[in-house]
Amino acid sequence: MLNELNLGFIFISAFIVNNIVLIRFLGLCSFIGMSTDMKASTGMGMAVTFVTVMACAISWMVYNYLLAPFHLEYLRTTTFILTIASFVQFEEIMIRKFAPVLYRAFGIYLPLITTNCIILAAAFLGIDYKLSFLQNLVYALGISAGYCAGIILIASIRERMDSAPIPAGFKGIPIAFILTGLMSLAFLGFKGLFKL
């Protein structure tokens, strides 16, 4: 819950105190699936950041200017997911055309992002917390930063895991979850950060 509506607090809160992956359990498919490779992880992190911030901005506008004034809040889920899917599609075309270097950097991750829970969650939470447009933007940024930090950290660990003696049953995904659990434990330490 956000009591402090100061932008800095919003960012830090979304970034580490309530980290979207390690505390809120979102974005796990790509988190676990991609993080064996550092390069892939960085690419995914960048793509997620870009899409989340923009998609949240658009969704906020759609909700506050299109849905709420006409009392169509119940169309929130449908509209958001369609907006996000369309946006990702549109954006992929735009980037491919105008910034091919960026497009190559994002690689295949861009289309994969549509089913990433994080974007939809960030959009929903921005509305639930009744944030202003700017606060929503910062919040989305914080969430993506949290995802990036998480995936890069775990990728750096997993890259070295191959040489570690892991029991056969744990190789691959299970040990990744245990790792995530340990990281989550560490991030829980941030919980009392704003106890004013």
Partner 1 sequence: MKKKEITRGIVVISAVALLSGYLLSQVFEVTKPRIDEQKKIEADRLNKEIFPEGVSFAEVDEKDLSYTAVYDADKNPIGRIYQIRPSGYGGAIAVRVGFDNDFKVKGVRILEHNETPGLGAKIKDAPFLDQFKGKSGNELYLKKYNKEGTLDAVTGATISSKAVSDGIRKLQEKLNPVVLPSSSGDEGENEENKEGL
Partner 2 sequence: MKKLIDFRSFSLGLWKENPIFYIMLGLCPTLAVSATLKDALGMGIAFVFVLTGSNITVSLVRKLVPSHVRIPVFIVILASFVTLADYSLAAFSPQLHRNLGVYLPLMVVNCILLGRAEAFASKNNVINSTLDGLGMGLGFTLAIVIIAFLRELPGQGTLFGVNVLGKNYTPFLIMIMPPGAFFVIGFLIALKNSMDRRVKKKC
Q: What is the pattern of x (binds partner 2, CB under 8 A) and - over residues 67-96?
A: -------xxxxx--xx--x-----------
Instruction: Give the count of beta carbons closer than 10 Å to the beta carbon of residue 35.
Output: 25
Q: Could you tell me the two tokens for 50?
A: 């870009």
Residues within window 27-86 making contact with partner 1, judged by CB under 8 A: 72, 74-75, 78
Q: Could you tell me the two tokens for 115?
A: 């089913």
CB of 33 to partner 1, least distance (A): 29
Work out the angle between the directed axes of helices 117-128 and 133-161 (0-180°, nearest 10): 150
Residues within window 152-191 making contact with partner 1, judged by CB under 8 A: 185, 188-189, 191
Triad 29, 31, 37: Cα angle to 5°: 125
End-to-end Cα, the chain, rounded Å: 14
Is 27 a binding residue for partner 2 by CB under 8 A? The answer is yes
User: For partner 2, which stretch binds (CB under 8 A), given 6-14, 25-33, 141-149, 154-162?
Assistant: 25-33
CB of 23 to partner 2, least distance (A): 5
- Residue of 34, 36, 39 whose CA lies nearest to 171: 36
CB of 107 to partner 1, least distance (A): 26
Is 140 a binding residue for partner 2 by CB under 8 A? The answer is no
The alpha carbon of 16 is separated from its chain's Cα centroid by a whole number of angstroms, namely 12
Which residues form the interface with partner 1 (CB under 8 A)?
1-4, 13, 72, 74-75, 78, 185, 188-189, 191-192, 194-196
